[in-house]
Amino acid sequence: MKRDKIRSGRTFLLVLNNLVLPKVSVFLPHDRKFFDLFEALADKTVEAAELLVELCNAGDYSRVSEISERLGVLENEADTIVHEILHELFFDHTRVTEEKGDIRYFAHNLDNVIDGIEKAVRRLTFMHTLPELVSEFAPVILAASKEINTAVHCLRNMRCGDGSLEAHCIRINELENEADEINRRWLRWLMTTPTKSPDEVLERLLLKEVVEILEDTMDQCEDVANSLETFRLKGGF
């Protein structure tokens, strides 16, 4: 009887090992996969910001449509990464709902930075010249994107070789304050400078929308920094 029980127990373990555990492993968290996906998304953010700076440095309005199309491709690639992150979260049963919400919020805010850049350039396709205000926002957005990229690569061990995660978050907030100042200055000019024709009024309205989109893009950068701070306080994600 005792030998039968031992034999039965061994059979159960064999079945568990060969049939059940491989299926259960599908539902286990893939932290390394999350790191890879976040870093890929952060890389896309820098690429988008670099395209905006490239457009401004070229100073050639004829390139707006080309850059807009390239940003559209980047946006689609970023959306694919976000969907993959959400898919991974769905099958991660080791995290509580709050933790999943933090990760989802972080991924969407990171994606929104790319969306904002793409949206601003798409608005520029309705214009006839490249506004000076874009050239002021572009390097600030690029600097914030690079800080985000470096900070995201810190998440694997919560430290960086060239400084702490906290330092990058502080710098992103400082850059957002610089963008606020650019925003206030241009809105003041747009709302107080007299126009000379009805066509100029329409152009002012479009310029105002571009300013607001670029400012919102920097707000999204700040939201990313806030999520990074949340991860830092919790010791990871």
Other C-beta atoms closer than 10 Å to the C-beta of 184 total 12
What per-residue confidence (pLDDT) applies to 201? Answer: 86
Task: Kindly state the average pLDDT of the residues 32-57.
Answer: 93
- Long-range contacts of range 159-167, CB-CB < 8 Å, 24 or more positions apart? 165/228, 165/231, 165/232, 166/229, 166/232
Confirm whether pTM is higher than 0.75. yes
Domain map (residue ranges) of the chain: 29-232
What are the residues whose beta carbons fall under 8 Å from the beta carbon of 151, sequence distance 6 or more?
Answer: 160, 165, 168, 169, 172, 225, 228
Tens of pLDDT along 156-209? Answer: 776 554 557 889 999 999 999 999 999 999 999 998 988 888 888 888 899 999
Fold of 29-232: Methane Monooxygenase Hydroxylase; Chain G, domain 1 (1.20.58)
pLDDT tens digit sequence for 87-125: 877 766 555 556 777 888 899 999 999 999 999 999 999
